[in-house]
Amino acid sequence: MSSETIKFWPIVFKQFLFKWNVNKDMFTTLAILQVIALFFSYSGSGSFHYMDGVEFNIHTSDILIVFTMIWLLVIGVQILRPMNALTTYTMTANRKVDHMSNIIWLIVMSGIGTVTVLLASVLLQLIMNYISGSIAIMPEVPLTFWSYITGAVTTFIYLVFAGAVGYFFSVLSQWNQLVKIIIPFFLIGTLFIVPAIIPDDLLISIFTFIFLEKVFMVFVLKMFVIISLLFAASMGIGNRLEVRK
Amino acid sequence: MEIIKSTDLVKRYGSRLALDHLTASILSNSITGIVGRNGAGKTTLLQIIAGFTQETSGNIEVFSARPFNSLHVSANSIFIDDFLTFPNTLSLVDILEEGERFYPNWHMDLAKKLLAYFELDEQTVHNYLSKGKKSTFNAIFGLATRSALTIFDEPTTGMDASVRSDFYRALLKDYLAHPRTVLVSSHHVDEIEELLEYVLLIDQGKTKLHMDIDDLREYLIGVSGRTELLEQWVKDRDVFFRRRIGETETYLVIQNNVETKDLEKLGFRVESISSSDACVYVTNKHKGGIDDVFRDH
């Protein structure tokens, strides 16, 4: 039988579909996490008492976003598990195809995550209005269409970021098994050591620079660069790895 | 046409040399048995050919390309071994359907018929199958791809005798109908010798023999006769195996480059050596075999 020549993108698309089919059970995990997040949100992320026995609770969908970010972090890590890798290469693939299809899959999953977060936050409002018996006080300025869009895009970017971080650490730990041990130490270590070395102001300004950018487009641009760097680094490190050892 | 060409191929795992300057080439549309003892380097060679593992040095070409990380090689080859697993979220028939999307020569009809013949339930999950059934399914997957290069690394692990012979027969029939390059590694040469055209015998990471299976069947002969006469006669020859028979006689295995008639004139008895025994004798490190270990006790 003669050999067939093969094109890159059609194979990436096939691998994406394959990963989509194989990892459908991830949606169950997402649903469970978001239900838990709804419970937490229900009790409110902050509350204060006002005189005359009136209690105010602040309800936001922050917890929903954080839980969905955790979900993306986890699926970013697990997509490279040996079991997934083995079947990927039993079908047609090379490293580039594998990474590209994984990244597209993570971005699509982030998109789905965003939609579910938005829907769940609507659900949260409904619960607050109808079940808890309290009166919802909406923001004084009604939300415009644009602010809904920026909210959705911001959520989406946070989710892709979480996925990219998970994926990057997964590639790192495949590159060297020691990373699995080092990362927890590193993370705990940074909690104590980094604040000791780097002044608080600098830490806060780094955090603010990345996550709390006020101008929306600048935020999008910054995160785009950071996420691209994470994915590029993953591809760079992962490209030399052997499938089986 | 040579489909695989390796020259001075070296693979090192830490301090262990898995492949030691291995040179070999495989013709297209042929079935070659990759044979050798445990740890000879069979799996390493096959994984390098499939592009899963990177060579340390030397040169390897598959379809005129370096296989490691090559999409071209991956698209045209399939590597089946008993470590192969499939996701729990897909049933057997789902896996076959995924395979159909990736492999242009995929033969779904054959795959489904084989599933039915080997009594594999289409709706089961791969992980729930027994070891032998897993191997059977993997082998079916490998057959159905009809890849230009089909690699089976110890495909029959866990299969019972009848399934093993059925599988090899299925492989042979499908190969005759749709010729492709097949590499099969196995410990049991006698089981696959009906199937093979060529044998590549690997020993300690090197090519020991690479020949037509018919030539291998005649490569060695066993000679027995009176010890002093036989030892005198065999002085300048390579002896692959030596065993004393009783007090006065000896049995030797030597290369088959003498006339049987000459030997019989000297009063020696000559017998043929099967291809699987030939592989054992050629790679034997201790000329006396396991008996030597117990000699002084």
> Which stretches in chain B have pLDDT values below 70?
286-289, 296-297
Does any CB of chain A come closer than 8 Å to the CB of residue B141? yes
Summary mean pLDDT of chain A: 83
Q: Are A21 and B94 a contacting pair at CB < 8 A?
A: yes
With a threshold of 0.90, tell me whether the complex ipTM lies above it: no
The pLDDT of residue A6 is 78
Residue A69 pLDDT > 60: yes
CA distances from B184 to A241, B45, B196, B201, B237 (A): 26, 12, 9, 12, 33
Distance CA B63, CA B149 (A): 9
Which pLDDT belongs to residue A211?
74
Place A201 in a pLDDT band, splitting at 50, 70 and 90.
Answer: confident
Residues of B whose CB is below 8 A from A90: 78-79, 84, 86, 141
With a threshold of 0.90, does the pTM exceed it?
Answer: no
Domain ranges across chain A? 8-175+213-238
Mutating which of B11, B53, B74 best tests the A interface, going by the most A Cβ atoms within 10 A? Answer: B74
- The C-alpha of B70 sits at a distance from chain A's nearest C-alpha, in angstroms, of 6
Asked if B71 and A93 come within 8 Å (Cβ–Cβ), the reply is yes
User: A14 and B103 in contact by Cβ < 8 A?
Assistant: no
| CB contact at 8 A, B134 and B62 | no
Q: Measured between CA atoms, how close is B291 to chain A, in angstroms?
A: 36
SS3 B184: strand
* C-beta atoms of B148 and A2 within 8 A: yes
Tell me whether residues B76 and A3 touch, CB distance under 8 A.
yes
- Binned at pLDDT 50, 70 and 90, residue A183 comes out as confident
The burial class, CB within 10 Å (0-12 / 13-18 / 19+), for A41 is: buried
Contact between A172 and A135 under an 8 Å Cβ cutoff? The reply is no
Mark yes or no for CB contact A86/B83 under 8 Å.
yes
Among A25, A191, A11, A158, which residue's Cα sits nearest to residue A88?
A: A11
Q: Which residue of B has its CA nearest to A87?
A: B86
B229 interface with A at CB cutoff 8 Å: no
Query: For residue A155, which of A197, A117, A99 has the smallest C-alpha distance?
Result: A117
The average pLDDT across A177-184 equals 80
Task: Tell me the count of A-B CB pairs closer than 8 A.
Answer: 95
Least CB-CB distance to B72: which of A5, A96, A239? Answer: A5
Q: B146 contacts in A (CB within 8 Å)?
A: 1
Closest chain B residue by Cα to residue A4 = B76
CB atoms within 10 A of CB B169: 12
Higher pLDDT, A205 or B58: B58
Q: Which of B66, B102, B152, B182 to mutate to test the interface with A (most CBs of A within 10 A)?
A: B102
In angstroms, the first-to-last Cα distance of chain A is 29
| Nearest-angstrom CA–CA distance, A170 and A163 | 10
pLDDT tens per residue, range B88-145: 889 999 999 999 999 999 999 999 999 999 999 999 999 999 999 999 999 999 999 9
Interface of chain A toward chain B, CB-CB under 8 angstroms:
1-6, 8, 11, 14, 17-18, 21-25, 83-84, 86-87, 89-97, 239-240, 242-245
Inter-chain touch A245–B85, beta carbons under 8 Å: no
pLDDT in tens, A85-134: 778 888 888 889 999 999 999 999 999 999 999 999 888 878 777 776 66
User: Quick one: which of A113, A121, A115, A140 has its CA closest to A42?
Assistant: A121
Taking alpha carbons only, the member of B236, B217, B228 closest to residue B266 is: B228
Tokens 């030997």 — which residue?
B263
